[in-house]
A = this chain, B = another copy of it.
Amino acid sequence: MRTEVSRAESEKFHEECGVFGIYAPGSDVTQLTYYALYALQHRGQESAGIAVSDGKVIRCEKGVGLVAEVFQETEKLEQLQGKAAVGHVRYARSNEELLINAQPLLVRYRNGHLAIVHNGNLINRYRLRSQLERKGSIFQAGTDSEVLAHLIAHSGEDEIIRAIKKSLLYLRGAYTYIVMTPEKMVGIRDPYGIRPLSLGKMANGYVLSSETCAFDTVGAEFVRDIEPGELIIIDKNGLQSERFAPPKRQALCVFEYIYFARPDSNIHGRNVHLVRKRLGRRLAQEHPVEADMVTGVPDSSLSAASGVAEQLGLPYEMGFVKNRYIGRTFIQPSPEIRALGVQLKLNAVRQIVEGKRVVMVDDSIVRGTTSMRIVKMLRHAGAKEVHVLVTSPPVVAPCYYGINTPARDELIAARMGVEEIRRAIDADYLGFLSEEGMLECLNLSKDGFCTACFNGRYPIALDDFALDKERRG
């Protein structure tokens, strides 16, 4: 027997981070941040960390793994006490050093300590690093948090808000930051609002979070989303809003709705499950296939699939069952065993799909390999026909704003038309949601979203330098 332990992988897009901040003197901000990170865990499972300020000193604990793993030794939490905290969960690209990139980043500069967490991707990161290095800066991780810390330290401004505002002028790309000084917490969202950041209120303070589901977890009330180009300052004087950039057209990443966010989160005030269900209804209107049943690929497509089922008047069935116990250290099957047709993570249920014309709803097709495999599973389980409906348009261009996408030539829709893809994944029918349809469901004008991955129209222009460096890492 040859055993190979491998990390669970997926060909899906990956959100790269979740951020959380709380300023609430008198509350147990550490434990609340710990719970909030559980709520945001789906946004990143590779590292987790919490930094806590007691008003004078900031302390930080972080590590590689799930929140539950990093804080397994409860002493780590007990050592952190204070009135404000920031937390972070991170998805890491496979070739990165996991530990060194874990956040929060805690630094000392001439005016004291800063803890920084971020979500997103600066497209001029390499240019900025290069400029900073020429000024004598050294980089340990090279993250966007470290870039911001250097800019603040070099800003020449003593007052932190002025220093931050001056630094933000250099940044191009998608970013949300939470910067914590011993006394203040600052929430920042880029001028296009590509990555989400919401504000919540508690009895004795405020919270900031990538997603509102963390508000429910900590008992906070949703106030509003941070606006693009807005900078929110929370301290003993309460809440203060400033702008660091003029309003641009909003360009929220549309995949937050389609795939990343937890269904109980609200984005721009709209519940993600309900939006997905509406996407499913619209998808079914655009592709009124004839079939016997509808099923979704767990877990992200379940909302959309029930929308499809309701629209088509078909029963929604559990065509797949997902094994919830397969963790990250899992012994991979040998080729011999794989040949037996073992179904480990996902099981297509014969008694449900056998002899049926099945509508299989998925949220996106990226490389196409997963779709291929899942269609095959359904056929193997006896499905008579497999109609694949996708709640997003074909993905033809990579993301440079913080989503881990494969290179352009690995995107199946960048190389093939719909009919070719259908044949490639061996579906009887393949229907994508139209971009138009998608945006109508989101009830917002086309300008409100970044849809670059569907049409190559990047809201923030990419220069050659960025693209080139991006590739070389």
Q: Which of B3, B202, B343 contacts A340 (CB 8 A)?
A: B202
Q: Which of A271, A324, A327, A351 has the most CB of B within 10 A?
A: A351
Residues 325-380 of A at the B interface (beta carbon under 8 Å): 325-327, 329-331, 333-334, 336-337, 340-344, 347, 349-352
Enumerate chain B residues within 8 angstroms of A139, measured Cβ to Cβ. Answer: 107-109
CB atoms of B81 and A325 under 8 A apart: no
- Distance between A326 CB and nearest chain B CB, rounded to angstroms: 6
Which of A33-41, A180-188, A383-391, A445-453 binds B? A33-41
Query: A89's closest neighbor in chain B, by CB?
Result: B325
Say yes or no: B344 contacts A35, CB within 8 Å: yes
Does A262 interact with chain B (Cβ within 8 Å)? Answer: yes
Q: How far is the CA of A228 from the CA of B132 in the complex (A)?
A: 34
Write out the residue numbers on chain B whose beta carbons fall within 8 Å of the beta carbon of A274.
Answer: 317, 351-352
Top 10 closest pairs, chain A to chain B, by CB: A219-B340, A271-B351, A110-B133, A136-B154, A264-B321, A219-B341, A264-B349, A41-B325, A107-B138, A3-B74
Residue of B nearest to A222 (CB): B350
The listed residue (B60, B110, B216) touching A343 by CB distance below 8 A is B216
Q: In the complex the two chains form, is B344's CB within 8 Å of A38's CB?
A: yes
Find chain B residues with CB under 8 A from A273 CB. Answer: 317-318, 349, 352
Task: Write the A196-236 contact mask toward B (1 if CB under 8 angstroms, else 0).
Answer: 00000011000000000100111100000000000000000
CA distance A139 to B106 in the complex (A): 9
| A56 is an interface residue with CB less than 8 A from chain B | no
Task: Classify chain A: how many residues form its interface, as a range.
Answer: 35 or more
With known contacts A133-B110, A136-B136, A323–B39 Cβ distance under 8 A: yes
Q: Which chain A residues in 1-51 approach chain B with CB under 8 Å?
A: 1, 3, 5, 27-28, 30-32, 34-35, 38-39, 41-42, 45
Q: Do B153 and A136 touch (CB < 8 A)?
A: yes
A11 to B192, CA, bound (A): 47
- Mark the stretch among A65-73, A248-256, A415-423 that contacts chain B: A65-73
> Please, which residues of chain B bring their CB within 8 A of the CB of A109?
133, 136-139
Q: Does A123 contact B (CB under 8 A)?
A: no
Task: Please indicate the chain B residues that have their CB under 8 angstroms from the CB of A329 in the complex.
Answer: 68, 72
Contact present for B325 and A67 (CB under 8 Å): yes
B1 and A78 contacting across the interface, CB-CB below 8 Å: yes
Does chain B have a CB within 8 A of A306? Answer: yes
Could you say which residues of chain B place their CB within 8 Å of the CB of A129?
Answer: 108
B-side contacts of A27, CB under 8 Å? 336-337, 340
Does A149 belong to the interface (CB within 8 Å)?
Answer: yes
A97 at the interface (CB under 8 A from B): yes
In angstroms, Cα B336 to Cα A30, docked, is: 13
Question: Which A108-164 residues have a C-beta within 8 angstroms of B?
Answer: 108-110, 129-130, 133-140, 142, 149-150, 153-154
Q: Are B110 and A130 in contact (CB under 8 A)?
A: yes
Chain B CB within 8 A of A266 CB: yes
Asked whether, in the complex, the Cβ of B217 is within 8 Å of the Cβ of A97, the reply is: no
**Separation of A135 and B155 alpha carbons in the complex (Å):** 10
Q: Which of B67, B97, B216, B341 contacts A347 (CB 8 A)?
A: B216
Residues of B within 8 A of A283 (CB): none
Closest to A152 in B: B138
Asked if A271 and B352 make an inter-chain contact with CB atoms under 8 angstroms apart, the answer reads: yes
* Interface contact B153-A133, CB-CB below 8 Å: yes
Cα distance, A263 to B273, chains bound together (Å): 23
Q: Cβ of A441: which chain B residues have Cβ within 8 Å of it? A: none
Give the contacting residue for A217; candidates B59, B310, B343; CB below 8 A.
B343
| In the complex, chain B residues whose CB is within 8 Å of the CB of A153 | 133, 136-138
Q: Does A458 touch B at the CB level, under 8 Å?
A: no
* Residue A168, interface by CB 8 Å: no
Name the interface residues of A260-314: CB closer than 8 Å to any CB of B: 262-264, 266, 270-271, 273-274, 277, 302-303, 306, 310
Q: Are A38 and B271 in contact (CB under 8 A)?
A: no
Expressed in whole angstroms, the minimum distance between the Cβ of A278 and any Cβ of chain B is 11
- A316 part of interface (Cβ distance < 8 Å): yes
What residues of B have a CB within 8 angstroms of the CB of A341 in the complex? 219
B334, A60: Cβ atoms closer than 8 Å? no
Please provide the chain A residues from 45 to 101 with a CB less than 8 Å away from any CB of chain B in the complex. Answer: 45, 59-60, 63, 66-68, 71-72, 74, 77-78, 81, 97, 99-100
B60–A331 touching, CB < 8 Å: no
Instruction: Give Cα A277 to B330, complex, Å.
Output: 33
Q: Give Cα A107 to B78, complex, Å.
A: 31
